Structure 1
Amino acid sequence: MAKTRSPKSKSKSRSKSGKRGKSVLNSAAAFSTNPHAKPDESLLIEATSLLHESSSPDAALPLLKKYLLVNPNSPQALDLLGEAHIELGDTEAAFAAFSHSASIDPEGQASPAGTGPEKFLWLAQLSSAETAVAYYERGVEIIKRWLSTSATPHPTATAERGLLKKLVSALCGLAEIYMSDLCMSPDAESRCERYVTEALLALPESAVALQTLASMRISQQRVEDAVAALKRAFDGWKELPPTHENVPPYADRVNLSKLLIETEEYEVALEVLERLKDEDDQLPDLWYLGGWSLFLLGEGEKEREGGEGGWVESWETAREWLENCLLLYNALEWEDEGIRDHAKEILSNIKKEIPEKMEEGESAEDGEKEWEEEGEWESDSDDDQMKD
């Protein structure tokens, strides 16, 4: 699938759990609060609370390790340990914990409530494409079994754990693999169609499923169908508060804006980005995408209007967004050099057409922006250190 911009370097990841709520993979309600619980069980209860309710993986970790010293083959504790390591960024330790749990509990039913499919979905996300397919398929199989009334291990488990959403997430994950890493497989397209169709049958208004459908239609060059799916995805949550359970995770909404840009729906993309900006304005990618959208929007206006009209305002606003992008890029020590370089390139193109206005008493030399200077940027703190 074609990309709007495909920088090679990786960018730093930031947790937005405070903005988006719990991960879709968290196995909430796996343990109930019991004042008469045994000492060992109390450790699990406390660790679950710290991890899922207090978002304190660093505090949960020692409790889980203490429990596992006595109960080394507890799938419940191993799953929680894996989640804690994920939150703390230790993916190797997380993979080891989930793998151990999967070997002990391959069917996800080691307790009355079942440890469930989550470990397999995590393992899929932490694996290479070929291995990920097997893990996703195992997770999907377990979820379907749990969703079957006769096979549900606990009456409230499926609702409390959001298994329908997890089923959709796993199916879309499979589709994405066959649109990227395994796109050359002879059955790649048919698999994508099957996975996305199944996801939409499970949750017809799922924004994640609709965006995956749009990605597939873009790769098939069916742009009108892709746009229809993207607008339907946005319509499903645009009137809802950010904390509503039907609002997709922040990262998914950023991806929605990318797909809208790719299909030249710049105004809708900007509407999505404005909402994200109100929610959290500390992501360089957000400002870059907004600036890129405004630049492309103005470019189209310029061509239609023969060089006069509203394109100037679009490009001036684009300049503000891109300068904010570079300021944040520097302040946060972001690593995505592709975003930085493309933002600078767009700003240079804008300056050729619209010279920057200078404040009264400011010289042209004083008005030069740091992004135009050769070499790397320096933050204010770096400047202070140099002066000292």
Structure 2
Amino acid sequence: MAKTRPSKSKSKSKSKSKSGKREKSVLNSTGAFSTNPHATTAPSTSNSNPPIAKLDEDLLAEATALLHESSSPDAALPLLKKYLRTNPNSPQAYDLLGEAHIELGDIEAAFAAFSHSASLDPEGQVPPVGTGPEKFLWLAQLSSAETAVVYYERGVEIIKRWLSTPTALDPAATAERGLPKKLVSALCGLAEIYMSDLCMSPDAESLCERYVTEALLALPESAIALQTLASIRISQQRVEDAVAALKRAFDGWKGLPPAHEDVPPYADRVNLSKLLIETGEYEVALEVLERLKEEDDQLPDLWYLGGWCLFLLGEGEKESKGGEGEWEESWEAAREWLENCLLLYDALEWEDEGIRDHAKEIMSNIEKELPEGMDEGEGAGGDGEGGEEEGEWESDDADDEMKD
């Protein structure tokens, strides 16, 4: 069985986050919704003295391009504030302002902007009157559990209304906004809340089933919905059903290029590997992690999960009768993954101390049986000294033959 090993050159990036802050672990994050409002294209300026409204339209279009096309929230922010001075009742501008603040890490200001947009457009009307459901999905992610449920349900209600009345929005615009996927994400977000923060609610399990069923009816092959279903089945101790859902989720995108629209976001695929490890599907988890490593090898969580997975795989090989000689290879590979995890953890000033501590604990356990620097082929518990003598004897024979 071929082992999964990192490349020879280990990641030793010393770069820190652009903001100078400690980076957040993707294992403790939730997926994000992109509001992506559709601003009109900036009109041509054939008139030497265009009206103020036209200038404002250009200003908003420029801010939208800076935010969505150039990824420059710091440059978009002053333009949006300038636009709002003359257009204080624009929900579209407030949505963009919220996005800019999210990108810049100002969560409090983002919440205020999305809240103001929601007060201006409580029904999630179609542009240009309103901006639709996305602001409610953002507010859900920025709120505590009980409040998040209210916002998520509001967003779901608006998305369903839009999808049931296709004439309300241009079909091309509906497809571009990805409303079915946003519906699935919101429903799965609700299920996750009732699996975690509100798990003690008397109707938590039935609500989880309801939300994930709705999500799968909307998009039967959605990887996110299938992973949420697997999480529910794990909590119900229905491991076989969970594994079936996880493999189905992976099969849906494993043959696709990373940029394909059906490939889930990077963070969701990291979570898929975590769930596969939790259900004992180590080989499949390593396949997912290897693909992720090819896309971006600068995430400590990635290397931690790979090391943890290889350690568990080796542990199983060590305990099984047919695993003789294979577990050492798995544990050596695990050590390499964990070393990369710790290098990146320090370089990026990662904030999840849990993965650092667990990585060190696993490495300590490996070191007890496979001390670093041990000669290749010298297994733990074996007669390492005898192996060394055998090697020396062969070398002496070879010298004698050369002399003759």
- The bucket for the TM-score relative to the shorter chain is 0.7 to 0.9
Residues 134 and 291 of structure 1: CA distance in aligned 2, closer, same or farther (over 3 Å): same
CA distance in 2, matches of 1:99, 1:136: 14
1:317 corresponding residue in structure 2: 333
Q: Supply the distance in 2 between the matched residues of 1:241 and 1:194 (Cα, whole angstroms).
A: 32
Residue 23 (structure 2) pairs with residue 12 (structure 1) = yes
Look up the match of 1:160.
Answer: 176
Aligned-pair CA distance for 1:152: 2.2
Paired residues of 2:132 and 2:158 also in contact (CA < 8 A): yes
Question: TM (normalized to structure 1)?
Answer: 0.85
Q: 2:224 aligns with which of 188, 199, 208?
A: 208
1:31 is the counterpart of 2:40 = yes
**Count of residues in Structure 1 that have an aligned counterpart in Structure 2:** 344
Which piece of structure 1 moves more, 50-59 or 168-177? 50-59
C-alpha distance in structure 1 between counterparts of 2:183 and 2:43, whole Å: 30
Specify the alignment match of 1:328 in structure 2: 344
Helix, strand or coil: the match of 1:156?
Answer: helix
Rounded to whole Å, the distance in 2 between the matches of 1:259 and 1:333 is 26
- 2:158: which partner in 1? 142
Aligned to 1:280: 296
Match of 2:202 in 1: 186
Write the mapping of 1:44-59 to structure 2, written as runs, cut at 5 A. Answer: 44-59=60-75
Q: Is the 8 Å Cα contact of residues 25 and 121 (structure 1) preserved in structure 2? A: no
More RCO (CA 8 Å, sep 6+): 2
Determine if the alignment matches structure 1 residue 352 to structure 2 residue 363: no
CA change 1:300–1:142 in 2 (3 A) is: same
Aligned AA for 2:168? T
Q: Contact 2:22 / 2:348 at 8 angstroms: preserved in 1?
A: no
Matched residue, 1:123: 139
In 2, the alpha carbon distance for the partners of 1:339 and 1:330 equals 12
Between the aligned partners of 2:34 and 2:141, the Cα distance in structure 1 is: 11
Partner of 1:371: none
Task: Note the residue ranges of structure 2 that are not aligned, 5 or more in a row.
Answer: 1-20, 46-52, 376-404
Whole-angstrom distance in 2 between the partners of 1:184 and 1:32: 49
Residue in structure 1 matched with residue 103 of structure 2 by the alignment: 87
Matched-pair contact (CA < 8 Å) for 2:233–2:239:
yes
Measured against aligned partners, the alpha-carbon deviations of 1:48-96 in whole angstroms (never above 9, x if no partner) come to 1111111111111110000011111210100000011111111100000
Q: Which has the larger radius of gyration?
A: 2
Is the contact made by 1:114 and 1:153 (CA closer than 8 Å) also made in structure 2?
no
> What is the 5 A alignment of 1:332-343?
332-343=348-359
What residue number does 2:82 align with?
A: 66
The whole-number CA distance in structure 2 between the counterparts of 1:150 and 1:322 is 51
Output one character per residue of 1:148-195: Cα deviation in whole Å (capped at 9) or x when no partner: 135623443211100000000000000000000000111111110010
TM-score, normalization: structure 2? Answer: 0.82
Report what 2:249 is aligned to. Answer: 233
Mark the CA change 1:122 to 1:184 in structure 2 (over 3 Å): closer, same or farther.
same
Identity of matched residues, %: 83
Match of 2:91 in 1: 75
The 3-state SS of whatever aligns with 1:34 is coil
**RMSD of Structure 2 on Structure 1 (CA):** 2.0
